[in-house]
């Protein structure tokens, strides 16, 4: 092979050897040093890009990156704010450990209590969103929202910190959420007596509700299904479920999903990464109306509120869930609420807009109408 046909870095190495040869006069030291610097820069850059810790295996913009060495970099939802008194709403919060062995925990909220506050108030268990991969109850996004929701609805709330994908399988997300519900139920009228006085002293176990947005709405559905007719034990049943912009999906596009193939491909890829099962996007974990999915008639609550946003790509799945629930033979009452002109979880990113305020009041009304 002629020298000019060799790779550039080999050509440069040959030239550098000639320059360093004892027979080569050092007539231009500056030339030698400058080319040596270029070679070292090129070589170090090559090593950098060959480093597995820098090579990206999976990239989900706005969510996370997974590198070839297994390292996971979350791009948002990692910031943490402490619990305590929120001066804006008067709501107080604190953190508790639910399952010491796994580290599953929760942030508890209690509204400002006064002489006019009923002794027992509704109890809400909330599941945050984030595609099962990001966010937590401790992030500014969810801490701010729960403060507002608890103040508006006048409820005790338990915001669940379940373990995330991809470090843990999707089934762990649901198991952690279920473990938290059982922990809540242990405080119930026939339970062994739970350790948390905020729940024991103030929660009305005849008005236990679950709620969540996006992936958290998906979790809420599966918790209501798992509760079924037997409830949570200790005389505790889930009375209502709120699913906000539910993260449901399917292999075949419906409604507006076929308008933007790239967006559908993106949602497909996100789910298949989280849950690489043989059923794909028709796994009942993401598609509650897929063939083989458990009948919605077994939903273990008496009322459901489904909230969708007009511009959300997931909107049609929320509508389909509503229609399927009504036709399933389930004996409960389902309500449907659509916010015009808004996109996915707009109420979290723009909580001060008029539409977010309207939706907040709708959720509060639902929780207090039992």
Q: Which of 186, 214, 282, 283 is catalytic?
A: 214
Strands 56-60 and 64-67: antiparallel
For the stretch 292-327, pLDDT in tens is 999 999 999 999 999 999 999 999 999 999 999 999
Residue 245 and residue 216 in contact, taking contact as beta carbons nearer than 8 Å: no
92-368 CATH, one of 3.40.50.1820, 1.50.10.20, 3.20.20.10, 3.50.7.10: 3.40.50.1820
Active-site option among 312, 316, 322, 347: 312
Are the C-beta atoms of residues 202 and 118 closer than 8 Å to each other?
A: no
d(CA 203, CA 35): 74
Domain edges within the chain: 3-50, 52-78, 92-368
User: What do you get for the CA distance between the two ends of the chain, in Å?
Assistant: 84
214 is catalytic: yes
308 vs 317: CA distance, rounded Å: 9
Give the whole-angstrom CA distance, residue 92 versus residue 78: 22
Residue 260 annotated to the active site: no
pLDDT one-digit tens code per residue, 253-274: 999 999 999 999 999 999 999 9
Residue 166 confidence (pLDDT) above 80: yes
| Total number of residues shown for the chain | 370
Span 147-173, average pLDDT: 98
pLDDT, tens digit, for every residue of 21-53? Answer: 555 454 555 655 565 666 666 655 544 555 667
Do 103 and 81 touch, CB atoms closer than 8 A? Answer: no
Rounded distance between C-alpha atoms, residue 194 and residue 207, angstroms: 17
The active-site residue, picked from 202, 237, 344, 347, is 344
Residue 70 tokens, joined: 């297994």
What is the Cα–Cα distance from 219 to 123, expressed in whole angstroms? 17
pLDDT at 13 > cutoff 90 = no
Cα(344)–Cα(312) distance, integer angstroms: 5
Annotated active-site residue 347? The verdict is: no
């Amino acid at each position: 092979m002629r020298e000019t046909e060799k790779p550039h870095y080999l050509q440069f190495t040959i030239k550098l050897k000639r320059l360093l040869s004892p027979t080569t006069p050092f007539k231009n030291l500056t030339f030698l040093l400058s080319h040596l610097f270029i070679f070292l820069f090129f070589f170090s850059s090559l090593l950098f890009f060959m480093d597995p810790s820098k090579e990206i295996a999976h990239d989900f913009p706005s969510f996370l990156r997974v590198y070839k060495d297994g390292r996971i970099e979350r791009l948002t939802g990692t910031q943490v704010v402490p619990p305590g008194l929120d001066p804006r709403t008067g709501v107080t919060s604190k953190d508790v450990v639910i399952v010491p062995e796994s580290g599953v925990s929760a942030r508890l909220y209690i509204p400002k209590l006064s002489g006019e506050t009923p002794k027992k108030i509704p109890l809400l268990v909330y599941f945050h969103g984030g595609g099962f991969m990001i966010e937590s109850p401790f992030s500014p996004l969810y801490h701010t929202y729960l403060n507002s929701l608890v103040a508006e609805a006048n409820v005790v709330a338990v915001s669940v910190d379940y373990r995330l994908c991809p470090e843990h399988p999707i089934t762990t997300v649901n198991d952690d959420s279920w473990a938290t519900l059982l922990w809540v139920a242990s405080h119930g009228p026939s339970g062994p007596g739970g350790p948390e006085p905020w729940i024991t002293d103030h929660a009305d176990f005849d008005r236990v509700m679950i709620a969540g947005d996006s992936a958290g709405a998906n979790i809420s559905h599966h918790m209501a299904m798992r509760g079924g007719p037997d409830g949570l034990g200790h005389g505790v049943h889930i009375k209502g479920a709120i699913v906000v912009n539910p993260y449901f999906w399917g292999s075949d596009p419906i409604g507006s999903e076929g308008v933007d193939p790239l967006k559908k491909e993106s949602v497909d890829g996100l789910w298949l990464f989280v849950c690489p099962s043989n059923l794909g996007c028709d796994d009942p974990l993401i598609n509650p109306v897929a063939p083989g999915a458990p009948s919605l008639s077994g939903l273990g609550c008496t009322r459901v509120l489904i909230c969708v946003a007009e511009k959300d790509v997931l909107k049609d799945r929320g509508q389909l869930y509503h229609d399927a629930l009504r036709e399933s033979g389930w004996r409960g009452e389902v309500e449907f609420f659509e916010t015009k002109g808004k996109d996915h979880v707009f109420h979290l990113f723009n909580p001060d807009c008029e539409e977010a305020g309207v939706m907040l009041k709708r959720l509060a009304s639902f929780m207090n109408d039992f």
